[in-house]
C-alpha cells in the first residue's frame, strides 16, 4: 500500500470552509479513483494547519491520482489553502494495526461528530 501526505494551511478563520471544500469537492472524486483504499484528515483548528493522508493500493494508483486533472484543478481552485504548504510526500505503508477504519468518522471544531464524509 502507498500513501500521500499533504500538508495545508487554512487562512485565518477559514478552517471549516477548507474542510467543507475537502468533503464536498475533493474527497468524493478521490474516493472514486481506482486503487483508493482510505484517507485520514487531521486538523489543528487553532493554527489552521491540516494534514491528510490518502492510501492507495499500488504506487501506480498513487501517481495516477496525483497527475489526474481533477487533482491539478483542485490545487488551483483552492490555492489559498496551499499557500503555506509544502509539496505532498509519497510513502510506502510500513504498518497498520487497529480496528479504527471500520467506519467514517469526522468531527467539527467543537469535537462534535458531523455528517459522514
One digit per residue, pLDDT tens: the chain, 117 residues? Answer: 899 998 888 888 888 888 888 888 888 888 889 999 999 989 999 998 889 899 999 999 988 887 767 667 766 776 676 666 667 889 988 877 767 666 666 677 777 776 554
The span from the CA of 23 to the CA of 30, in Å, is 10
pTM of the shown model:
0.78
User: Domain locations in the chain?
Assistant: 2-92
- CATH class entry, domain 2-92: alpha beta
Amino acid at each position: 500500500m502507498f500513501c500521500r501526505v499533504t500538508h495545508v494551511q487554512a487562512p485565518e478563520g477559514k478552517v471549516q470552509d477548507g474542510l467543507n471544500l475537502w468533503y464536498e469537492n475533493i474527497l468524493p472524486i478521490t474516493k472514486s479513483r481506482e486503487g483508493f483504499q482510505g484517507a485520514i484528515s487531521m486538523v489543528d483548528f487553532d493554527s489552521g494547519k491540516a494534514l491528510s493522508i490518502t492510501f492507495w493500493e499500488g504506487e501506480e494508483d498513487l501517481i495516477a491520482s496525483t497527475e489526474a486533472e481533477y487533482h491539478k484543478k483542485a490545487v488551483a481552485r483552492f490555492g489559498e489553502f496551499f499557500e503555506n504548504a509544502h509539496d505532498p510526500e509519497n510513502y510506502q505503508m510500513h504498518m497498520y494495526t487497529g480496528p479504527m477504519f471500520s467506519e467514517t468518522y469526522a468531527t467539527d471544531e467543537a469535537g462534535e461528530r458531523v455528517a459522514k464524509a
